Amino acid sequence: DAGVTQSPTHLIKTRGQQVTLRCSPKSGHDTVSWYQQALGQGPQFIFQYYEEEERQRGNFPDRFSGHQFPNYSSELNVNALLLGDSALYLCASSPGQIGEQFFGPGTRLTVL
């Protein structure tokens, strides 16, 4: 049983560009949450997707958007990249909105 997978592993972009990160949940999980982790800090909640809808959002601007597909996989899109968007982006899946979360290995984004 594959766990949570994320792609790509690493990504380098320049300011102003747009990026799309992808996440496949653990088998049997229907909920995906996204987090941003800056160096030396704890993960910060971006948003959660359930039944293909954004159900809850953290304190992130509209430049951060997402999507969940019928197979429960998800994408995180970030527009107009800023230097401060450089971080490790983590995806977690769970069985339902309040179930135990399991994390993928993350995508390390560098904005130059």
Does 57 sit near other proteins (CB under 8 A)? yes
What is the four-CA torsion angle of 90, 94, 99, 105, rounded to 10 degrees?
-30
Tokens 């766990």 locate to: 3
* Gap between the Cα atoms of 38 and 20, Å rounded: 18
Does 110 sit near other proteins (CB under 8 A)? no
Q: Quick check: helix, strand or coil at residue 20? A: strand
Binding mask 14-53 for other proteins (x = CB under 8 A): -------------------x-x-x---xxxxx--x-----
Q: Give whichever of 14 and 51 is closer to other proteins, judged by the CB atom.
A: 51
Provide, rounded to whole angstroms, the least separation between the CB of residue 100 and other proteins. 4
Q: What are the two backbone dihedrals, phi and then psi, of residue 85, each rounded to the nearest 5 degrees?
A: -80, -5
Binding site for other proteins (CB under 8 A): 33, 35, 37, 41-45, 48, 55-58, 88, 90, 92, 97-98, 100-103, 105-106, 108
